[in-house]
């Protein structure tokens, strides 16, 4: 993709001025994504996700429905404040391990994570890279102004997959598991894996597909320090300052704090190189394609108004393009038709809650699938597609109603 974009620039098909303008837009987004990945992995190294797993076990006990409720809460919180990709990588193994620990079918829990990672990513600019791209164009007063527009759509799109899972997997969620499936110290693999998917500890000797977190001492003082950094970071991200600044500062602080306690965590693989190259390639290829072909064609479309029909058409175009290609290029290609804050919000609904049908529609879904394969969980793509074909349209309808309600 990068090579194709370079050729387009070289032959003059993609003007250098547009390349520079795109670069100016995306470098803060990419820097923020890398910094937040480093923050999330270092927080995981400090035991943050192990602690969350232990709390979930205590709250839920052997009750399937209670554990599912805790997984929902963890997934929403992680998605809103740490982004959907972090949820896919670090919470998927947590949910699988928690279900297996009490001998429950992990599929309802794993599917809840991936669907909510996408649909619950509409609330804040930091929840999704497409939100960050749209944030400055919306003309709102900071992240809370963004949330003021998006919260009804976010709430609706969050509830849809929850209701679907409750109905689709009702038999699996009403029973009780075995309280002694694994040892008390076993935590999920997510607590000791980075976003590049490389394992840093071997599997536990007791339960397959779980990490022997009980063999790694938990430093309570380190966990407290990391928690303080995260609280300060999240507060700073809501102030309206450019988000890459506090995210980068937090990453540097955690490199020092966690690195002092565990020097082995300081390595180049903390940076999600593959995700970075893929995202950069998507931005470049989309910029070239939009400049050469798509944006000119979109100029001939009739203007879409802020009516329910206009909002739904915009969201539908976003969801359709995302499922054909990916949600990042879908947003960039269709951004010119979103000429008002309401239409931008509808487009975000489409590219955020709509890419639930094809595996490649969202990077988070691909990362989620990698974690499932690593943990030995099989979810058939046929089931994923037909479930997504029910959830996504419902999200678009209710999400656009939410946008209309506010705007």
Tens digits of per-residue pLDDT, 239-274?
A: 989 999 999 999 999 999 998 888 788 888 888 888
| 98, 188 contact by CB (below 8 A) | yes
- Give the per-residue pLDDT at 285: 72
Structure tokens at 120: 């619950």
| Number of domains observed in the structure of the chain | 1
SS3 content of the chain, % helix, strand, coil (to 5): 75, 0, 25
Ramachandran region of residue 302, left (φ > 0), alpha (ψ -120 to 50) or beta? beta
Task: Note the Cα 198 to chain centre separation in Å.
Answer: 19
What number of other Cβ atoms are within 10 A of residue 201's Cβ? 14
Q: Give the tens place of pLDDT for each residue, 73-95.
A: 999 999 999 999 999 999 999 99
Where would I find the H helices in 240-380? 244-261, 273-289, 295-298, 308-324, 327-334, 341-353, 363-374
| DSSP reduced 3-state for 290 | helix
- Rounded CA gap, 266 and 395, in Å? 41
| 352, 128 contact by CB (below 8 A) | yes
Q: Region 143-161: what's the mean pLDDT? A: 97
Structure tokens at 241: 């300052």
Residues in the chain: 407
Structure tokens at 136: 């400055």
- Rounded CA gap, 399 and 96, in Å? 29
More confident residue, 288 or 321: 321
Q: Can you say whether the dihedral through the CA atoms of 77, 82, 84, 88 is positive or negative?
A: negative
| 332, 283 contact by CB (below 8 A) | yes
- Give the per-residue pLDDT at 299: 61
Domain range for 107: 2-406
| 278, 286 contact by CB (below 8 A) | no
State the DSSP code for 247.
Answer: H
- Give the per-residue pLDDT at 204: 33
């Amino acid at each position: 993709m990068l090579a194709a974009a370079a050729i387009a620039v070289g032959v003059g098909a993609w003007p250098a001025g547009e390349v520079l303008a795109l670069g100016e837009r995306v470098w803060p987004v990419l820097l923020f994504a890398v910094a937040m990945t480093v923050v999330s992995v270092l927080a995981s190294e400090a035991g943050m996700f192990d602690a969350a797993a232990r709390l979930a076990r205590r709250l839920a006990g052997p009750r399937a429905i209670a554990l599912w409720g805790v997984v929902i809460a963890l997934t929403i919180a992680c998605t809103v404040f740490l982004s959907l990709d972090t949820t896919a990588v670090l919470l998927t193994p947590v949910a699988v391990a928690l279900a297996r620990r009490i001998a429950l079918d992990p599929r309802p829990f794993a599917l809840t994570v991936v669907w909510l990672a996408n649909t619950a990513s509409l609330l804040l600019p930091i929840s999704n890279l497409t939100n960050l791209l749209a944030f400055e164009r919306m003309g709102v007063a900071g992240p809370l102004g963004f949330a003021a527009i998006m919260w009804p759509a976010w709430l609706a799109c969050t509830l849809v997959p929850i209701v679907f899972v409750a109905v689709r997997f009702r038999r699996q969620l009403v029973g009780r598991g075995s309280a002694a499936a694994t040892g008390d110290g076993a935590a999920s693999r997510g607590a000791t894996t980075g976003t590049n998917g490389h394992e840093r500890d071997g599997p536990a000797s007791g339960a397959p597909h779980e990490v022997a977190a009980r063999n790694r001492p938990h430093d309570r003082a380190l966990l407290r320090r990391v928690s303080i950094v995260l609280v300060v970071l999240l507060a700073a991200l809501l102030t309206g300052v450019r988000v890459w600044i506090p995210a980068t500062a937090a990453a540097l602080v955690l490199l020092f704090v966690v690195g002092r306690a565990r020097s082995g965590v300081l390595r180049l693989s903390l940076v999600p190189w593959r995700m970075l190259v893929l995202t950069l390639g998507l931005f470049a290829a989309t910029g070239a394609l939009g400049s050469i072909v798509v944006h000119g064609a979109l100029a001939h479309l009739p203007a879409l108004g802020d009516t329910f029909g206009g909002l739904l058409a915009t969201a539908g175009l976003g969801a359709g393009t995302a499922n054909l290609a990916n949600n990042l290029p879908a947003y960039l290609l269709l951004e010119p038709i979103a000429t008002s804050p309401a239409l931008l919000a509808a487009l975000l609904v489409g590219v955020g809650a709509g890419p639930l049908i094809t595996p490649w529609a969202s990077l988070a879904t691909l990362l989620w699938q990698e974690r499932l394969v690593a943990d030995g969980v099989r979810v058939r793509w046929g089931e994923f597609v037909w479930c997504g074909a029910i959830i996504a349209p419902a999200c678009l309808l209710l999400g656009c109603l939410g946008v209309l309600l506010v705007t």
